[in-house]
Amino acid sequence: MTTTEQDGRAPLRSVSDSPPDAAALARRVEEFLAEHDPAGTDAADFLRARFAAGLAWVHYPAGLGGLGAENGLQTAVDAAFARAGAPENRPRLNVIGLGMAAPTILRFGDDAQKQRWLPSLWTGEDIWCQLFSEPGAGSDLAGVGTSAVWDGDAWVLNGQKVWTSMAHHARWGIILARTDPEAVKHRGLSYFVVDMTAPGVEVRGLRQITGEAEFNEVFLTDVRVPDDQRLGEVGQGWAVAQYTLMNERVAIGGGTLPRESGAVGALAARWREHPEARTPGLHDRVLRLWVRTEAARLTAERLGQQQAAGQPGPEGSGVKITYAGLNQECSSLELELRGEDGLRYPDYTERRPEVEDYGSRDAGWRYLRFRANSIEGGTTEILRNVVAERVLGLPAEARADKDVPWKDLPR
């Protein structure tokens, strides 16, 4: 009996047909909807059936939610399901699972791991988080100190992670831990999937400048992780993590968005609705931000297709830098257009938001929240180094710790 049969989910179904083109995909969607009425089918059952039919992410392999189709065809499939009123798979809440964990599992997981985690990840039944940054290892991710020690039949994890989005909702977490402190810092790491409900996992909220506790710190005390929850070889964790991070930067800065959405949409709406706030020179500033945002959006679409092909690349760092800067510039100008009203802040009550719709929030909240864009998902300073070295081919910065065992590094 398969895992999916045991827990009541639809079993994976192999698809033997050759990869479909756009027309064939449209027919498959039409046939699927004829058999599964979105209005009359339980949402979870509908999503499981869609995954089993290969219409979840059509560029994935057959039997893993896809049909082996070409990149770029997913958008049309998603649009057809949206027009039919099909249920969503909680994409905003599970952005880490869909944008980072899934491609990493597909690239580095074995067959059993893919079939164990991908179905419930895509349907949104299981939310995922990322356990990378630590109080002493943020920008220098290779310096993480969370330990993973083999103990008979499992790895035992001890340490602390920080800035962990969605940890208070997550069922699973992808985690980077140190398995060999005698090795240099980039080589002594391994990559695991940790059960966030396991004994020894403690999640605490971190209150931000907005007044909300959107992020978390996570403490791991003698958390046992079986070896079948390791992705990649022991000591290969840095390579696996780099693949995850390249996907993260495309997911953060390269999501396919409608024209004039997000921060620039709020700015443009303010400009149009309040002509009294316009002063000489502001029109040029708004127009330049609009054009730059549209150029970034189109670039991000292309990188999103590259990500779907399993080739995220270091160029995603450039997109993420641009995304952070534009959000901050747009929110700053929007606040300027509000004049003295921009000095007001609605509410500092602490709360634990599920997901944030940036467009529906107050301008002051956007201004404060977007300060984090140049930190989360890799600081702008570090990402500039990535672009310089891996995209432009400039000489790497000198490193004094390159050949020093991690245990001997000052901390």
Percent of residues in the chain assigned helix, strand, coil, to nearest 5: 45, 15, 40
**If we measure between CA atoms, which residue out of 85, 144, 119, 109 comes closest to residue 8?**
119
What residue type is assigned to position 310 of the chain?
Answer: G
Grouping H, G, I as helix, E, B as strand and the rest as coil, residue 18 is coil
Q: Which runs of consecutive H residues, i.e. helices, occur in 19-168? A: 22-35, 43-52, 74-83, 95-96, 102-108, 111-123
How many angstroms separate the CA atoms of 266 and 296, rounded?
17
Are 208 and 367 within 8 A, CB to CB?
A: no
Active-site residue identified among 134, 214, 248, 315:
248
**If we measure between CA atoms, which residue out of 321, 212, 209, 326 comes closest to residue 266?**
326
Describe the crossing of helices 262-273 and 315-337 by its angle, rounded to 10 degrees.
20
- Known catalytic residue at 248: yes
What residue type is assigned to position 6 of the chain?
Answer: Q
Q: Taking the alpha carbons of 244, 249, 250, 255 in that order, is the dihedral positive or negative? A: positive
Q: Which residues are catalytic?
A: 248
